[in-house]
Amino acid sequence: MTHQSYEIRELENEQEWIQAFSIIKQLRTQLDEDSYLELVKEATQKENYKMAALFINSKMIAVTGFMPMITLYNGRFTWVCDLVTDNSYRSKGYGEALIEYVQNWSKENGFDIVSLSSGLQRKDAHRFYEQKMGYNKTSYVYLKRV
């Protein structure tokens, strides 16, 4: 973990969401700013989607998007939708700090599981979640465009 001091806080308005776009775009390359903003607005209103960012000296370095959910499989849990650290700041512990933020948010809000999916090709991310953060691989996620 890096020793540089940082702040993590929830992003709560359109200006902050726009500020996060350049980092989110590194993970969600298919999105342009307008469609991104539209999705964030709709997800926050309808799905209780939340975004939080890690800042060093007021500079946004890493972003996570997550939402509380309830399913029969997991019960009450938090789904991590997005987690990305700016390319220039990777492997310095910022992703770890953001995941811990989400885990703490979950516990404080009565959600005792944190779950996520990670693209099959993202081997470094898998190593991070399994070895560093202690997550278990429990399923495959399937997708079909209809």
**Predicted confidence (pLDDT) per residue in 58-67, tens digit:** 999 999 999 9
Residue 50 is assigned to a structural domain of this protein: yes
Instruction: Please indicate, yes or no, if residue 2 is contained in any of the structural domains.
Output: no
Residue 144 lies in a domain: no
Alpha carbon distance 45, 113 (integer Å):
23
Within-domain flag for 138: no
Token pair, residue 140, equals: 């495959």
For residue 19, give the DSSP letter.
H
Domain that includes residue 14, residue range: 7-132
pLDDT at 3: 54
Query: What is the count of structural domains for the chain?
Result: 1
Query: Does a structural domain hold residue 61?
Result: yes
Distance CA 118, CA 112 (A): 20
Domain assignment present for 117: yes
Q: Does any domain span residue 142? A: no
Residue 102 contacts residue 66 (beta carbons within 8 Å) = yes
| Tokens at 31, concatenated | 């999105």
Sign of the torsion angle spanned by Cα atoms 133, 96, 10, 65: negative
What's residue 4's pLDDT?
A: 73
Q: 87-122, pLDDT tens digit by residue?
A: 999 999 999 999 999 999 999 999 999 999 998 889
Pairing of the two strands 50-56 and 114-116: unpaired
Residue 140 placed within a domain: no
Q: What is the CATH number of the domain that holds 90?
A: 3.40.630.30
